């Protein structure tokens, strides 16, 4: 069997996927129609033509427009079921999934509605062999007060959905919104023993990665590719085995690297950093996890050993218990 086919079939975990970023253009249009929403695009093709991003912000503008079709529990359920199908097709046995509640509450959609729909889809996924957890992400372009309000609103659901909803993260526009801005809400979550992650060092500077580690006390860094600018930080990440959830096709589409052959994933791996491969927003960036692996194998000439390290890292950096992890191997 060729390496790509072996990797396709290999069991793996996905640790960086925004559920709203799994919404395919066709589903955006059918949900818009079902909900009587008029999109600023006349067809699936004209929407897709807008997927020519130059930066994180240029993507986020369209990503939030796409998410605006999600109104009812059924919409969140349909989106989640479509992701579950794709995940199982990609050999994913465990997924830690981000959702952005503020994107929906601002439009009058309740926390109850979104979580009920996502949970119903994920519960069905469990029966089909996809283990999953949810991570609530705060939008960093909004205030910490807004994040704290959202956190308090979510607290009953952290109890009701304790088996699924296990932690918090930080996403959206990175530049100008350092992790330290969210120190209080992360400290409250830490006090409640929640799992903590944050996007840092995608477009933002190395100092944001240090803040995520030292102020927010995160257990993984989402993206983190700019760490390579600081050898001491690379050493610290390698020693501590704090994983980076790297998203190669996302980095390419958002112009974090000019070409995939310029991507630093292989260098990070060679320096002993616990790198993982993830899709980020698969409907927008041209592929799920296996397409990310396939593109990397071509662009960076990854060895079979390196692919196995990446696959193993994905399971080891996940938040499933060691007992459950053993059972999965």
CA distance 162 to 48: 37
Contact call for residues 301 and 263 (beta carbons, < 8 A): no
Pairing of strands 220-223, 195-200: parallel
Pairing of strands 131-139, 165-171: parallel
Q: How far is the CB of 187 from ligand HPA (least distance, A)?
A: 22
Token code pair at residue 137:
């992400």
What's phi and psi for 70, nearest 5 deg?
-85, 110
Tell me whether residue 280 is annotated as binding.
yes
Among 280, 288, 289, 315, binds Zn ion (CB under 5 A): 280
Token code pair at residue 97:
């999934």
- Position 8 contacts ligand HPA (CB under 6 A): no
For the beta sheet containing 92-99, the strands, ordered from the edge strand earlier in sequence to the opposite edge, are: 12-18, 92-99, 131-139, 165-171, 195-200, 220-223, 243-246, 275-277
Best CA proximity match to 278, nearest among 241, 306, 315, 305? 315
Helix (H) / strand (E) containing 301: none
Tell me whether residue 281 is annotated as binding.
yes
Q: How far is the CB of 190 from ligand HPA (least distance, A)?
A: 22
Best CA proximity match to 117, nearest among 40, 23, 255, 206? 23
- Position 174 contacts Zn ion (CB under 5 A): no
Quick one: what does residue 195 bind among Zn ion, ligand HPA, none, with the CB cut-off 5 to 8 Å set by partner type? Answer: none
CA distance 236 to 238: 5
Quick one: what does residue 21 bind among ligand HPA, Zn ion, none, with the CB cut-off 5 to 8 Å set by partner type? Answer: ligand HPA
Q: How far is the CB of 307 from ligand HPA (least distance, A)?
A: 23
CA distance 63 to 266: 29
Q: How far is the CB of 315 from ligand HPA (least distance, A)?
A: 22
- Position 73 contacts Zn ion (CB under 5 A): no
Among 105, 113, 250, 290, binds ligand HPA (CB under 6 A): 250
- Position 21 contacts ligand HPA (CB under 6 A): yes
Q: Is residue 202 flagged as an active site residue?
A: yes
CA-angle at 104, arms to 165 and 56, nearest 5°: 90
> Among 20, 202, 203, 211, which one carries the catalytic annotation?
202
Contact pattern for ligand HPA over residues 171 through 210, marking x by CB under 6 A = xx--------------------------x--x--------
Whichever of 29 and 64 has its CB closer to ligand HPA, that residue is 64
- Position 18 contacts ligand HPA (CB under 6 A): yes
Whichever of 102 and 172 has its CB closer to ligand HPA, that residue is 172
Q: How far out from the chain centre does Cα 234 lie? A: 22
What CA–CA distances, in Å, run from 217 to 111, 179, 186, 201, 281? 26, 10, 8, 15, 25
Tell me whether residue 94 is annotated as binding.
no
Tell me whether residue 301 is annotated as binding.
no
The binding site for substrate comprises 281
Query: Catalytic residues, which ones?
Result: 202
Q: Which residues bind ligand HPA (CB under 6 A)?
A: 18, 21, 56, 63, 171-172, 199, 202, 250, 280-281
| Residues binding Zn ion (CB under 5 A) | 280
Which residues define the annotated binding site? 16, 18, 199, 280-281
Binding residues for Zn(2+): 16, 18, 199, 280
């Amino acid at each position: 069997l060729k390496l790509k086919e072996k990797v396709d079939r290999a069991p793996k975990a996905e640790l960086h996927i925004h559920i709203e970023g799994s919404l395919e253009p066709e589903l955006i249009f059918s949900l818009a129609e079902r909900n009587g929403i008029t999109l600023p695009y006349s067809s699936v093709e004209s929407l897709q033509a807008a997927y020519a991003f130059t930066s994180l912000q240029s993507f986020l503008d369209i990503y939030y427009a796409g998410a605006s079709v999600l109104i009812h529990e059924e919409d969140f359920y349909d989106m989640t079921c479509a992701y579950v199908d794709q995940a199982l097709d990609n050999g994913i046995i465990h997924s830690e999934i981000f959702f952005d509640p503020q994107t929906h509450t601002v439009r009058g959609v309740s926390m109850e509605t979104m979580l009920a729909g996502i949970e119903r889809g994920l519960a069905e996924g469990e029966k089909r062999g996809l283990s999953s957890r949810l991570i609530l992400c705060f939008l960093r372009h909004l205030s910490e007060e807004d994040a704290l309000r959202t956190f308090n609103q979510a607290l009953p659901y952290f109890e009701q959905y304790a088996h699924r909803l296990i932690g918090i993260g930080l996403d959206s526009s990175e530049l100008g919104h350092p992790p330290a801005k969210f120190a209080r809400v992360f400290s409250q979550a830490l006090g409640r023993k929640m799992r903590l992650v944050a996007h840092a060092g995608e477009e933002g500077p190395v100092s944001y990665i240090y803040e995520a580690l030292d102020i927010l006390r995160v257990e993984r860094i989402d993206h983190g590719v700019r760490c390579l600018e600081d050898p001491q930080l690379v050493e610290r990440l390698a020693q501590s085995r704090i994983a980076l959830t790297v998203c190669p096709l996302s980095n390419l589409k958002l112009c974090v690297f000019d070409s995939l052959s310029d991507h630093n994933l292989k260098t990070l791996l060679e320096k002993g950093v616990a790198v993982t491969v993830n899709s980020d927003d698969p409907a927008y960036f041209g592929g799920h996890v296996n397409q990310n692996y396939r593109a990397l194998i071509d662009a960076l000439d990854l060895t079979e050993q390196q692919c196995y390290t990446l696959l193993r890292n994905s399971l080891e950096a996940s938040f499933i218990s060691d007992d459950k992890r053993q059972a999965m191997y």
